[in-house]
């Protein structure tokens, strides 16, 4: 008996990957349209259900409605499941389940997984997914335990409520999603290091990427043996964290709308949050609508850069950002090759990095322009919102619920493209790659 084959138009891994995420978004939308997942009478509106499902699957966290009051516990459970599946990657999850159940992987499944997780060697896919699943579950349970104990000690009288909040927040943190069971996100816990710091640790670990975590487990004592990817991701992430936190604290220290009324040690905790959450976290213990314009600009830049490749974070990725910095350095020096440490980087990788950066700039710029046409919000707020959607960060100045349905749909598309990746989304429609049979004569146009 022959197995049913997918149509050739969608069977290619690069097309199959965004298709699986699209199907999951549609399934999530249908589930969120069920009457019992909505707190009010009847069902949720289609746009709110679609937006919430897309935001959950893409592990963004932007919301058009209050998660704590608009959705019932059943609806919150659907959101939690969509975030968990989206964070691990729908294809990765299916592969892990196949390993546990049957122990067999088809070639197409491995190729799709390889595309999603940026694995270089196809033979690494199977063991990587095992590590991904175990890491994800292990880190989330550890963070959930710490949060549950703190919630029970200080904020809730019930162990069940504490456990639900602790696990929900742990999943959101590690998956870099910004949904919260509180209407004001983490504002109630502002400055509480026993809550904010574990959540920030979860966001940081989820944003560095599974391949980096797997390598660190083996080589954490010997940084000199790290791959270029791990070096760029780790040191770049730490540098952006320190710089982002320092700038945030310097600007917001006396701002009464954010940190001004907090004790100095609570300000330091919030400063750590201010440097980590824009990288793709999305949770917040202060109002981003009240920050200074300079902080908003820095947050936009950090969101656009994002986290590590093959992680739950979005953006152009820190490796792409640093690679382009090395390209500029090589050009200024007049070096013929781009080198990072004692390794050279191929021209194909450089072209990919440049393509990702330029496509991302065009996406954010064009959607910002479209939403400015559709709304009356300021340029700074719209740019911040579009950067958050593209980077699947989930931070907001509070304008998302006030947008018309047309603008919300624009953000849905932006979140989807930001999750599946600019190159993957673009390549899904351009699959015919032919080896060149000849080279045209070269000509040097004037640059600059």
pLDDT tens per residue across span 357-395: 999 999 999 999 999 999 999 999 999 999 999 999 999
Burial class (CB in 10 A: 0-12, 13-18, 19+), 134: exposed
| Neighbour count for residue 339 (Cβ, 10 Å) | 14
Burial class (CB in 10 A: 0-12, 13-18, 19+), 105: middle
Q: Is pTM beyond 0.85 here? A: yes
* Host H or E run for residue 165: helix 159-174
Distance CA 77, CA 66 (A): 15
- Of 241, 142, 207, the closest CA to residue 394 belongs to 207
Distance CA 179, CA 185 (A): 8
Task: Give me the chain's average pLDDT, please.
Answer: 85
Percent of the chain with pLDDT over 70: 83
Distances in Å between the Cα of 418 and the Cα atoms of 120, 121, 123, 133 are 21, 24, 27, 23
Q: What is the pLDDT of residue 364?
A: 95
| Neighbour count for residue 207 (Cβ, 10 Å) | 28
pLDDT band for 100, please (50, 70, 90 cuts).
Answer: very low
Residue 344 confidence (pLDDT) above 80: yes
The two beta strands, 338-340 and 343-345, are: antiparallel
Cβ neighbours for 25, distance < 8 A, ≥ 6 positions apart: 50, 53, 54, 57, 416
pLDDT band for 295, please (50, 70, 90 cuts).
Answer: very high
Q: Do residues 283 and 185 touch, judged by C-beta distance below 8 A?
A: yes
């Amino acid at each position: 008996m022959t197995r049913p084959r997918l149509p050739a138009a969608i069977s290619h891994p690069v097309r199959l990957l965004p298709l699986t995420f699209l199907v999951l978004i549609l399934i999530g939308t249908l589930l969120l349209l069920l009457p019992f997942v909505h707190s009010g009478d009847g069902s949720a509106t289609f746009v709110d259900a679609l937006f919430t499902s897309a935001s959950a699957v893409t592990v963004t966290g932007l919301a058009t409605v209050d998660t704590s009051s608009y959705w019932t516990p059943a609806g919150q459970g659907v959101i939690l499941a969509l975030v968990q599946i989206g964070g691990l990657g729908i294809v990765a999850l299916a592969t892990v389940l196949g390993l546990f159940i049957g122990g067999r992987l088809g070639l197409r499944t491995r190729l799709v997984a390889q595309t999603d997780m940026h694995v270089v060697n196809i033979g690494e896919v199977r063991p990587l997914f095992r590590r991904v699943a175990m890491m994800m579950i292990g880190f989330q349970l550890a963070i959930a335990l710490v949060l549950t104990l703190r919630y029970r000690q200080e904020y809730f009288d019930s162990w069940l409520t504490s456990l639900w909040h602790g696990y929900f927040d742990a999943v959101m943190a590690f998956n870099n999603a910004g949904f919260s069971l509180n209407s004001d996100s983490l504002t109630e816990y502002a400055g509480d290091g026993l809550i904010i710091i574990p959540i920030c640790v979860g966001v940081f670990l989820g944003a560095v990427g599974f391949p980096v975590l797997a390598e660190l487990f083996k080589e954490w004592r010997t940084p000199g043996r790290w791959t270029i990817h791990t070096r760029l991701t780790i040191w770049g992430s730490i540098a952006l964290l320190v710089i982002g936190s320092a700038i945030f604290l310097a600007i917001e220290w006396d701002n009464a709308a954010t940190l001004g009324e907090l004790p100095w040690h609570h300000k330091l905790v919030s400063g750590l949050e201010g440097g980590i959450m824009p990288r793709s976290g999305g949770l917040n213990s202060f109002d981003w609508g009240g920050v200074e314009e300079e902080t908003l600009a820095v947050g936009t830049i950090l969101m656009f850069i994002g986290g590590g490749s093959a992680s739950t974070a979005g953006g152009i990725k820190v490796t792409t950002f640093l690679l382009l910095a090395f390209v500029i350095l090589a050009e200024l020096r007049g070096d013929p090759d781009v080198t990072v440490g004692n390794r050279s980087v191929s021209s194909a990788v450089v072209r990919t990095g440049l393509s990702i950066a330029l496509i991302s700039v065009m996406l954010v710029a064009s959607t910002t322009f479209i939403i400015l046409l559709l709304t009356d919000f300021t340029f700074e707020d719209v740019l911040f919102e579009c950067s958050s959607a593209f980077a699947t960060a989930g931070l907001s100045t509070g304008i998302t619920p006030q947008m018309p349905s047309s603008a919300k749909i624009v953000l849905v598309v932006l979140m989807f493209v930001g999750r599946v990746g600019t190159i993957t989304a673009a390549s899904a429609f351009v699959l015919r790659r032919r080896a060149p049979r000849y080279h045209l004569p070269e000509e040097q146009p004037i640059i600059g």
